[in-house]
Structure 1
Amino acid sequence: MSETGSTSSSIAGHSLRHLRAFLAVVDTGSVTRAAEACFVSQPAVTQALSKIERTAGLPLFSRTPQRIFANAAGETLARRIARAFAYLDPALAELSPRLKMTATGAQLRSLIAVRETENFTLAAERLGVSQPAVYRAVSQLEEEASRPLFQRTSYGIVATRPAQALAQAAKLAFLELSQADADMAELTATECGEIVIGATPLAKSYTLPKAIAAFREVRPNLPLRIQEGPYGELMSALRRGELDFLVGALRIPPPTSDIEQRVLFHDSVVLVGGIQHPLSRSQKVTVEELASYPWVVSPKGTPIRRYFDSIFLDAQCPLPRNIVETGSLILMRELLDGTAHLGCTSRLQAEAEIKRGLMHALPFELGHTSRPIGVVLRKDWLPTAAQQTFLDLLSAHPTQRYNQIL
């Protein structure tokens, strides 16, 4: 779910001090003790609770003369806020213990923007504030940390390692707070935010369409945003919190330890040619014949490309020299239609093209190329109700369709 801005109509728009006071009230059951723990006045805590309840759109506490209790909605919100500070506080403490009490949301948003743009002016434009305001916010963090957070190079302003860690933690913390808005909307039978899905070519053509159609039957209005790109870029975006989850071919072993992979089904690789290609009429194709033609294949480092290379390496045959690298099935299809190129691609992705007579599967055995297709999540990620619904539908439909194919 994309990060919400710092408006008063969102949980993320409240000051970090107010959110800490809210958690303290939930933990202690007392406005007085929460005020003492947060070093603020009792009226300030009462005002913070009132503002947060107005933003949530429903009561968050039950009150008795002896104690204040978080109700179910309050517990739900407290869980999200606690998750946000679980990301944020260790990174703040690493720079300076005092930052846990002094850092503000505006300062952290400025840090994130400068880290990502590597420029104070561009960061200010992104945030919609003045350049001096961004510079001042970062300088305040640097003063509290007693160290510079950025190094100036000929290429721009580069964040130091502690600054990168804090910016990443803050980004994930703000993401949790945007998830809190979605949780509260769910309790009031409304919707907010969007679901952002990273998709590889197979996911776009095979896995996602049915899941999206089914999701629209139960959630007709919630925006969905599909972000395309190479696997490496999508994985980085997922880990930064810019994607809710990623759908595509899984990597074995997983590329990093902070992600979780869930298998949906298995796919295999197929070699294809145009309908008029000489090999399309063959009953059997040899590796030497394959090596003599130009190819359209996935980029290096992808699972399909490794399978393609292994065809020739296992046969001790030189790899084809004439290769076009692309993840686009459309480009592959057009090249196959008008030239002697052959293609190596996902069997499920090519299935519709083959059935429509737009390309032909070559008679070459690749049964050993089974590979898992699935969903990649950040470890310990807590989905909203809408996100969980989409994941459930995603898990159901590809398996059903794949079984029908078999």
Structure 2
Amino acid sequence: MITRNLRHLRLFLAVADLRSVTRASAACHVSQPAVTQAIAKLEREAGASLFLRRPAGFVTTPLGEVLVTRVRRAFDILDPALLDLSPRLRMTATTTQLEALVSVREAENFTLAAHRMGIAQPTVHRAVSRIEREAGRPLFERTSHGIVATRATRALADAALLAFAELDQADADLAEATGREVGRIVIGAMPLSRSTILPVALTLFRARRPTLPVLVLDGLYNDLLLGLRRGEIDVLVGALRDPPPIDDVVEEALFDDRLAVIARKDHPAAATPLTPDVLAEWPWVVPRHGTPTRAQFDAYFGTRKPSSIIESGSVILMRELLARSDHLGCISRLQAEAEIDKGLVAALPVDLPGTRPIGLTLRRDWSPTRAQDEFLDALRSARAGQVA
């Protein structure tokens, strides 16, 4: 695992750019032995040479170029946020200080942040205070509910998370280049994907990468989107938003899905003409407001909406409610197929207009590792015709 020592990584970039330890030490205002020691440590951690020592200067090896690319991306993300607080922070901020800042921003409390990090509260407070002294202004505002990060602090915390994600990817890239496997795939899974495309894609991916850890996270769309934008999630899989909710993410459609109205097999509605007015009289289980399914459901009924609605994205809860009552459910047709095939529910002859695109949501400037690329390929291979 490559060091998270930001000073060492800056010295590494300086040597790569200037092709000289002497020029790098002068540019970074450190001694030549300090530069040499930083490079030697990084090469030990990488398990191979990062530079070729030539009479004309230092030349990066192919492995060194891999690291240069990731480290440069990390600092391109981090440095503008550091400079926004103080020019000196670019050279003085440490990983420990930034990790403490991120933890306090998320916990909104120094004690809780220290507990999450597994260190003493004074250590966290001291780390944040050092950044605060360099910035010459408060990083947090005190409220009756805790401490809240300022705009600049939020920007720095987000930038730090993305920069750390790039360094995690550097570890994976270096391992790949030396025949090893490091890292994991983190997937934000929306309801449809968990029962359709994702199992197929994971089966395909496991055939290529039988041991690489995979973490599948489910949750509300906005929470998953936040994790994606912070670099904590690699890809979101599920219903796309039109237009994308923010300009730092991009969407890739894989296939279109239609909605279905489902009920228990002996539901009395099956024996009547099913118009919007008739359907509005029954109680419903539907996804919450803000989801594409709910938008289509509401558009179908217009102003004559059902008066009895339970909001839930859980297929299991919907199935059990339908089995025990006269509730109807509105759900993805693909998502309901397994329940219908098993005879647990029945699809009613209601044609809900329109389709919704299902696909991938990615960070706009994301550069995936080889393993992450292979997982994206597996998702694309599992698209419409192969989802089963």
Question: Which secondary structure state, in structure 1, belongs to the residue aligned with residue 382 of structure 2?
Answer: helix
Provide the rounded CA distance (Å) in 2 between the counterparts of 1:309 and 1:145: 50
Question: Which secondary structure state, in structure 2, belongs to the residue aligned with residue 358 of structure 1?
Answer: coil
| Number of the residue aligned with 1:352 | 338
2:118 maps to 1:128: yes
| Number of the residue aligned with 1:288 | 277
Question: Which secondary structure state, in structure 2, belongs to the residue aligned with residue 198 of structure 1?
Answer: strand
Q: 1:259 aligns with which of 249, 266, 277?
A: 249
2:349 maps to 1:363: yes
2:223 maps to 1:233: yes
The aligned length equals 388
Provide the rounded CA distance (Å) in 1 between the counterparts of 2:345 and 2:4: 56
Q: 1:298 aligns with which of 284, 287, 300?
A: 287
Name the TM-score, length of structure 2 as normaliser: 0.97
| Number of the residue aligned with 2:29 | 39
Question: Structure 2 counterpart of 1:322, which letter?
Answer: S
Q: 2:371 aligns with which of 381, 386, 396?
A: 386
Question: Structure 2 counterpart of 1:333, which letter?
Answer: R
For 1:15-54, list aligned pairs within 5 A: 15-54=5-44
Provide the rounded CA distance (Å) in 2 between the counterparts of 1:96 and 1:393: 44
Question: Structure 2 counterpart of 1:50, which letter?
Answer: A
| Number of the residue aligned with 1:69 | 59
| Number of the residue aligned with 1:103 | 93
Question: Which secondary structure state, in structure 2, belongs to the residue aligned with residue 264 of structure 1?
Answer: strand
| Number of the residue aligned with 1:5 | none
Provide the rounded CA distance (Å) in 2 between the counterparts of 1:331 and 1:205: 15
How far does residue 123 in structure 1 lie from its aligned partner after superposition?
1.5
Provide the rounded CA distance (Å) in 2 between the counterparts of 1:77 and 1:391: 23
| Number of the residue aligned with 1:117 | 107
How far does residue 185 in structure 1 lie from its aligned partner after superposition?
1.1
Q: 1:328 aligns with which of 314, 317, 321?
A: 314
The answer as to whether partners of 1:118 and 1:156 remain within 8 angstroms in 2 is yes
Calculate percent identity across the aligned residue pairs: 56
Provide the rounded CA distance (Å) in 2 between the counterparts of 1:308 and 1:47: 63
Question: Which secondary structure state, in structure 1, belongs to the residue aligned with residue 383 of structure 2?
Answer: helix
| Number of the residue aligned with 1:90 | 80
Question: Structure 1 counterpart of 2:256, which letter?
Answer: H
2:154 maps to 1:164: yes
For residues 38-61 of structure 1, give each alpha carbon's deviation from its aligned partner in whole angstroms, at most 9, with x where no partner exists: 111111111111111111122211
Provide the rounded CA distance (Å) in 2 between the counterparts of 1:308 and 1:208: 25
For residues 364-386 of structure 1, give each alpha carbon's deviation from its aligned partner in whole angstroms, at most 9, with x where no partner exists: 122x3211101101111011111
How far does residue 109 in structure 1 lie from its aligned partner after superposition?
1.0
For residues 89-137 of structure 1, give each alpha carbon's deviation from its aligned partner in whole angstroms, at most 9, with x where no partner exists: 0011111111111111111111111111111122222222221111111
Question: Which secondary structure state, in structure 1, belongs to the residue aligned with residue 201 of structure 2?
Answer: helix
**Residue range with higher mean Cα deviation, 301-310 or 76-85:** 301-310
For residues 241-269 of structure 1, give each alpha carbon's deviation from its aligned partner in whole angstroms, at most 9, with x where no partner exists: 22111111000011001101011111011
| Number of the residue aligned with 2:196 | 206
How far does residue 281 in structure 1 lie from its aligned partner after superposition?
4.5
| Number of the residue aligned with 1:4 | none
How far does residue 236 in structure 1 lie from its aligned partner after superposition?
1.3
Question: Which secondary structure state, in structure 2, belongs to the residue aligned with residue 369 of structure 1?
Answer: coil
The answer as to whether partners of 1:274 and 1:336 remain within 8 angstroms in 2 is yes
How far does residue 308 in structure 1 lie from its aligned partner after superposition?
1.0
Provide the rounded CA distance (Å) in 2 between the counterparts of 1:173 and 1:204: 29
* Structure 1 unaligned blocks of 5 or more: 1-9
Question: Structure 1 counterpart of 2:279, which letter?
Answer: L
Q: 1:142 aligns with which of 132, 137, 144?
A: 132
2:351 maps to 1:372: no
Provide the rounded CA distance (Å) in 2 between the counterparts of 1:36 and 1:158: 40
Provide the rounded CA distance (Å) in 2 between the counterparts of 1:312 and 1:30: 70
Provide the rounded CA distance (Å) in 1 between the counterparts of 2:162 and 2:93: 16
Alpha-carbon RMSD across the aligned residues, in angstroms, is 1.3
Provide the rounded CA distance (Å) in 1 between the counterparts of 2:237 and 2:226: 14
Question: Structure 2 counterpart of 1:343, which letter?
Answer: G
Provide the rounded CA distance (Å) in 1 between the counterparts of 2:321 and 2:336: 14
**Residue range with higher mean Cα deviation, 118-127 or 19-28:** 118-127
Provide the rounded CA distance (Å) in 1 between the counterparts of 2:377 and 2:384: 12
Provide the rounded CA distance (Å) in 1 between the counterparts of 2:317 and 2:234: 29
Provide the rounded CA distance (Å) in 2 between the counterparts of 1:263 and 1:38: 46
How far does residue 400 in structure 1 lie from its aligned partner after superposition?
3.1
Question: Structure 2 counterpart of 1:350, which letter?
Answer: A
For residues 264-308 of structure 1, give each alpha carbon's deviation from its aligned partner in whole angstroms, at most 9, with x where no partner exists: 1110111111101122345x4222221111111010111111111
Provide the rounded CA distance (Å) in 1 between the counterparts of 2:35 and 2:256: 54
For 1:172-191, list aligned pairs within 5 A: 172-191=162-181
Provide the rounded CA distance (Å) in 2 between the counterparts of 1:124 and 1:222: 31
How far does residue 391 in structure 1 lie from its aligned partner after superposition?
0.4
Question: Structure 2 counterpart of 1:293, which letter?
Answer: W
The answer as to whether partners of 1:107 and 1:141 remain within 8 angstroms in 2 is yes
How far does residue 178 in structure 1 lie from its aligned partner after superposition?
0.9
